[in-house]
Structure 1
């Protein structure tokens, strides 16, 4: 069995730019229009842990210096 340089259908990039046999399953395409998507929810998610982590670090460092 020799190596070939022919392009196979599975080697072509999908709509997300990934190609080859080891690509992951493709995500479901977005069904909402751009007007229906709230960009702020994407840019600043409500489930962001930064505030909680920052608060915990501040509490830990404040108690060490007290």
Structure 2
């Protein structure tokens, strides 16, 4: 159950990250990366690792976007 919840949190975060790829909307990742990390935390309580790993990938993508944009763009 926690694995499914974690995957849903990761999917919702990934969908919300789509506009954050565009210039001047990258600061949205400051809100979305912690949400993805929360999803990974929820995935820790599951025996399966798919949802947790997906959330970590989503958080890594958002962090990379923040790094490339200098934290603002």
TM-score for both structures, normalised by structure 1: 0.28
Greater gyration radius: 1
Structure in which a larger fraction of residues adopt helix: 2
> Greater RCO between the two (CA within 8 Å, min separation 6)?
2
